[in-house]
């Protein structure tokens, strides 16, 4: 802690030196609700001085000469602000700009704003998602959802509608980090793969990094999903009530202490709850799916209090409780719960272009699987995470430094093949420091080197991780970008590759004892360096805007997974190792084409990829290796105030690898010396063919939807929606019971209808 204060003092002192030039700094806000407005353009008219506000709405323009200026603040869909300022001495000028939503939106404003952001940010292998983007999806289940939208992003593979997991450019779900306002979430997606735990309307934005992410993120070796939630409305009570035939949602937000120009602080809240009644509703609306219906149930709660000041400083306190339950009586019952509490803050010192942000939270995750085919399993995980970062704005350049600590306990309980109960407990703490500097050379070349030192205290191992991102603006409409780095983690998943699809999502930290983990790969002389899972990324690509309404993004990637830990598929006896080392690699490319003009929106993604693994005995493709993946999203809004909207999404994915069942045989294990083994009933066992040598049929599905909005006044509206999924009722495989050979398919043709009242 002493070192943190020394670092803070150093930054403040350095900031005071730089502040000998005039600095214009501040925040941009949405005047309708007091929410920060990111990525606004702030320009001194007639000069080259300007900046974009960042994801928190903060901006800073340094080294402004003395004189009179007109500050122009603009953002898509909002009325421009023109503000006259006069710089008469060195120092800091602090401003708060609140933009008013405009009644009409000019396409030129949108094109200029998006183009400016693409030129001033590296943004390699990252897609920013907003509620507006998600609203262009067919409203499957009554409301668009983050989980649905993730599946149309480049490099992301979903295993399906039921039990769906997300695999990002060759990484497994446990190798994906999901942050909610800086807090780790261990299972953000429900077992029915079209729903996440988040209400779309509480989200401000989400940055999805499919690889090559910077040093501000650590502890995962594949991808990061960084979600920011909104503060509650600081000016009035507002919210929504949403009801559909399978789920309902409610959101309420407003001020406890209103935001006013003559008041230094404001206090607001936001509450969100949603839940499904899919299991009973499906028996009524979809009788053709079978007597059991669709046995998925969930409910999610989220709440946040925000204390904010006029200069941008704020404190958030929040809590969440996410639940999921599946009841396939003939196959398995499965449930999980994730709850937590936390706080994050943003401090804006008045005299230097610095912001200080941090988070502290505790959460617990527990899941249970009662498998009718195999033995029951339970996994739980609880712990804390803390982070603190300093952001120093040097005009268009930014310096970020920070510290982070994560501690958690894991408990995995299962039964061996011989019926004995096995319980694995572990406690671990990870600590890290990082630094990142973004240098903008005349809006032509952006270089973003960063470095993270990750120390795994429980393993006694440090991992230095240099990273780099850059962008070169070849022309205004053509840009080259590159990113890469070293990554590590000590969290592992407990899954079985004997399952065609697995619902269970358990966790362990990297085992420490030699009895659990060998140092070398099976039948391989390669030495493993330490006990961490490690990867190295390199991603390169081009952005091209042939005309202002079209953006084409082309990226190629290579991920080398130099150290991986996997469940020991060769284990036969209780005294054998639970885990083995593996190596792997993932490589391929994505092309994304986006067209957006006058209410017509097209998003087309094609991904080509290969994923390979070796354990020293066998080389194989893991069960999520999908060679081809296509997503086409089309949306069209029309009518007065664009009150009508029609959406369609088509997805195609080539078949996943799986291990075939080779043979069945009877087997009896006596439990007592006096057992009547002659007349006792035998169990049916099976033998597996070579690992993942077969392929499932291709997956494809077409969804369409329509919405009509009725405006009941300035702040009230009703929206009617109807949507259809799997229009041509294609039978995509979900699960195969190896004993009975019963096949369970993904979702059939389903229809949804809903009503949303916003006030």
Query: Which residues are within 8 A (CB) of 262 and not within 5 positions of it... i.e. 6 or more apart?
Result: none
Q: Are 541 and 468 in contact (CB under 8 A)?
A: no
Q: Are 430 and 456 in contact (CB under 8 A)?
A: yes
Q: Give residue for tokens 């639940």.
A: 323
Q: What pLDDT does residue 672 have? A: 64
Query: Which residues are within 8 A (CB) of 235 and not within 5 positions of it... i.e. 6 or more apart?
Result: 32, 33, 34, 255, 258, 259
- Classified as helix, coil or strand, 384 is strand
Q: Give dist(CA 164, CA 494) in Å, integer.
A: 16
Q: Are 124 and 469 in contact (CB under 8 A)?
A: yes
Q: Which of 609, 565, 458, 494 is nearest to 221 (CA)?
A: 565
Q: Give dist(CA 275, CA 325) in Å, integer.
A: 12
Query: Which residues are within 8 A (CB) of 100 and not within 5 positions of it... i.e. 6 or more apart?
Result: 31, 32, 78, 79
Q: Which of 476, 380, 383 is nearest to 114 (CA)?
A: 476
Q: Are 580 and 563 in contact (CB under 8 A)?
A: no
Angle at 625 between CA 621 and CA 630, to 5 degrees: 155
Q: What pLDDT does residue 511 have? A: 62
Q: Which of 536, 569, 559, 648 is nearest to 167 (CA)?
A: 559
- The DSSP-derived string for 409-471 is EEEEEEE-TTS-EEEEEEEEEEEEEEEEEEEEETTTEEEEEEEEEEEETTTTEEEEEEEEEEE
Residue 207 burial by Cβ neighbours in a 10 Å radius (0-12, 13-18, 19+):
middle
Q: What pLDDT does residue 629 have? A: 97
Superfamily of domain 2-120: Carboxypeptidase-like, regulatory domain (2.60.40.1120)
Q: What pLDDT does residue 531 have? A: 83
Tokens of 559: 């991920």
Rounded average pLDDT per 10-residue block, the chain, 759 residues: 49 46 86 87 89 86 89 89 88 88 55 66 89 89 86 90 82 92 87 86 92 96 95 94 94 93 88 93 89 87 94 93 85 86 91 89 91 76 94 87 94 73 84 95 92 93 96 94 96 67 73 51 62 95 94 97 86 74 95 94 97 91 94 95 95 92 76 65 77 91 95 91 94 78 84 94
Tokens of 292: 């059991």
Angle at 317 between CA 316 and CA 318, to 5 degrees: 115
Q: What pLDDT does residue 515 have? A: 46
Q: Are 620 and 667 in contact (CB under 8 A)?
A: no
| 671: phi then psi, degrees, rounded to nearest 5 | -110, -10
| 680: phi then psi, degrees, rounded to nearest 5 | -70, 150
Handedness of CA 511, 515, 518, 523 (dihedral sign): negative
Q: What pLDDT does residue 659 have? A: 86
Q: What pLDDT does residue 512 have? A: 55
Q: Are 222 and 243 in contact (CB under 8 A)?
A: no
Q: Give dist(CA 469, CA 467) in Å, integer.
A: 7
Q: Are 405 and 360 in contact (CB under 8 A)?
A: no
Q: Which of 479, 448, 429, 528 is nearest to 117 (CA)?
A: 479
Segment holding 304, helix H or strand E: strand 296-309
Q: Are 377 and 401 in contact (CB under 8 A)?
A: no
- Classified as helix, coil or strand, 490 is coil
Q: Give dist(CA 74, CA 71) in Å, integer.
A: 10
Q: Give dist(CA 213, CA 76) in Å, integer.
A: 27
Q: Give dist(CA 231, CA 203) in Å, integer.
A: 9
Q: What pLDDT does residue 674 have? A: 66
Q: What pLDDT does residue 492 have? A: 87
| 110: phi then psi, degrees, rounded to nearest 5 | -65, -45
CA distances from 35 to 204, 229, 235 (A): 9, 11, 10
Cα 524 from chain centre: 36
Query: Which residues are within 8 A (CB) of 146 and not within 5 positions of it... i.e. 6 or more apart?
Result: 129, 134, 196, 198, 200, 203, 206, 227
Tokens of 240: 């929504």
Tokens of 560: 């080398």
Q: Are 220 and 532 in contact (CB under 8 A)?
A: no
Q: Give dist(CA 32, CA 455) in Å, integer.
A: 45
Q: Are 127 and 156 in contact (CB under 8 A)?
A: no
User: What's the whole-model pTM score?
Assistant: 0.89
Angle at 51 between CA 50 and CA 56, to 5 degrees: 155
Tokens of 48: 């080259």
Q: Give dist(CA 374, CA 148) in Å, integer.
A: 31
Q: What pLDDT does residue 473 have? A: 95
- Kindly list the domain boundaries of the chain, sorted by start residue: 2-120, 126-656+696-758
Q: What pLDDT does residue 115 have? A: 65
Q: What pLDDT does residue 18 have? A: 44
Q: What pLDDT does residue 497 have? A: 53
Query: Which residues are within 8 A (CB) of 268 and not within 5 positions of it... i.e. 6 or more apart?
Result: 34, 231, 232, 233, 234, 253, 254, 255, 256, 257, 259, 305, 306, 308
Q: Are 555 and 608 in contact (CB under 8 A)?
A: no
Assigned CATH class of 126-656+696-758: mainly beta
- Classified as helix, coil or strand, 195 is coil
CA distances from 174 to 131, 197, 221, 475, 562 (A): 26, 17, 9, 39, 16
Q: What pLDDT does residue 153 have? A: 95
């Amino acid at each position: 802690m002493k070192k943190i204060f020394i670092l803070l003092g150093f930054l403040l002192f350095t900031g005071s030196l730089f502040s000998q030039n005039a600095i214009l700094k501040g925040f941009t806000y949405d005047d309708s609700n007091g929410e920060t407005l990111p990525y606004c353009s702030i320009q001194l008219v007639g000069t080259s001085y300007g900046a974009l506000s960042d994801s928190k709405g903060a901006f800073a323009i340094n080294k402004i000469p003395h004189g009179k200026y007109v500050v122009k603040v603009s953002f898509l869909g909002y009325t421009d602000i023109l503000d006259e300022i006069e710089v008469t001495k060195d120092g800091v000028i602090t401003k708060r700009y609140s933009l008013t939503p405009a009644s009409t939106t000019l396409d030129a404003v949108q094109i200029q704003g998006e183009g400016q952001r693409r030129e001033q940010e590296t943004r390699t292998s990252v897609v920013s998602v907003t509620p507006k983007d998600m609203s262009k999806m067919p409203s499957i289940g009554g409301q668009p959802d983050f989980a649905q939208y993730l599946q149309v992003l480049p490099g992301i593979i979903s295993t399906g509608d039921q039990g769906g997991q997300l695999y990002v450019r060759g990484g497994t779900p446990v190798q994906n980090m999901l942050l909610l306002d800086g807090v780790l979430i261990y299972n953000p997606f429900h077992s029915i793969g079209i729903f996440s735990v988040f209400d779309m309307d509480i989200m401000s934005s989400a940055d999805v990094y499919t690889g090559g992410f910077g040093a501000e993120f650590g502890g995962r070796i594949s991808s990061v999903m960084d979600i920011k939630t909104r503060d509650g409305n600081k000016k009035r009570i507002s919210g929504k009530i949403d009801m559909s035939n399978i789920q309902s949602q409610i959101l309420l937000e407003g001020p406890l202490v209103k935001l006013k120009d003559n008041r230094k602080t404001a206090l607001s809240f936001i509450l969100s709850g949603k839940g499904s009644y899919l299991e009973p509703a499906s028996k009524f609306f979809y009788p053709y799916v079978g007597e059991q219906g669709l046995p998925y149930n969930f409910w999610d709660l989220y709440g946040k209090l925000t204390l904010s000041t006029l200069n941008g400083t704020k404190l958030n306190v929040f809590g969440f409780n996410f639940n999921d339950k599946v009841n396939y009586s003939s196959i398995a019952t499965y449930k999980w719960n994730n709850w937590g509490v936390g706080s994050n803050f943003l401090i804006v010192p008045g005299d230097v272009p610095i912001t200080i942000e941090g988070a502290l939270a505790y959460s617990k995750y527990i899941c249970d699987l009662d498998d009718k085919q195999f033995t029951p399993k339970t996994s739980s995980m609880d712990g804390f995470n803390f982070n603190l970062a300093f952001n120093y704005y040097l005009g268009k350049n930014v310096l970020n430094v920070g510290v982070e600590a994560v501690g958690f306990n894991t408990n995995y309980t299962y039964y061996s093949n011989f019926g004995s109960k096995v319980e694995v407990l572990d406690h671990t703490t990870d600590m890290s420091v990082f630094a990142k500097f973004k240098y903008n050379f005349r809006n032509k070349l952006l270089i973003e080197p960063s470095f993270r030192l990750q120390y795994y205290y429980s393993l006694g191992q440090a991992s230095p991780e240099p990273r780099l991102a850059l962008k070169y603006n070849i022309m205004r409409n053509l840009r080259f970008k590159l990113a890469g780095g070293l990554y590590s983690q000590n969290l592992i998943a407990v899954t079985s590759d004997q399952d065609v699809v697995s619902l269970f999502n358990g966790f362990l930290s990297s085992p420490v004892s030699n009895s659990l983990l060998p140092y070398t790969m099976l039948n391989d002389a390669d030495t493993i360096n330490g006990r961490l899972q490690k990867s190295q990324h390199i991603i390169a690509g081009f952005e091209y805007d042939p005309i202002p309404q079209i953006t084409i993004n082309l990226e190629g990637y290579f991920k080398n997974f130099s150290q991986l830990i996997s469940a020991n598929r060769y284990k036969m006896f209780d005294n054998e190792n639970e885990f083995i080392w593996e190596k792997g690699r993932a490589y391929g490319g994505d092309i994304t084409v986006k067209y957006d003009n006058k209410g017509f929106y097209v998003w087309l993604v094609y991904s080509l990829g290969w994923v390979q693994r070796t354990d020293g005995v066998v080389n194989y493709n893991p069960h999520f290796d999908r060679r081809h993946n296509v997503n086409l999203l089309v949306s069209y809004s029309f009518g007065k105030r664009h009150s009508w909207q029609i959406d369609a999404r088509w997805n195609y994915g080539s078949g996943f690898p799986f291990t075939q069942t080779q043979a069945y045989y009877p087997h009896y294990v006596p439990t007592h010396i006096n057992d009547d083994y002659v007349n006792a009933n035998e169990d049916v066992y099976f033998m597996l063919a070579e690992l993942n040598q077969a392929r499932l049929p291709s997956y494809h599905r077409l969804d369409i939807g329509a919405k009509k909005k009725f405006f009941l006044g300035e702040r009230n509206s009703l929206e009617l929606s109807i949507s259809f999924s799997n229009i041509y009722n294609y039978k995509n495989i979900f699960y195969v019971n190896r004993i009975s050979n019963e096949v369970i398919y993904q979702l059939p043709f389903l229809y949804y209808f809903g009503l949303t009242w916003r006030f």
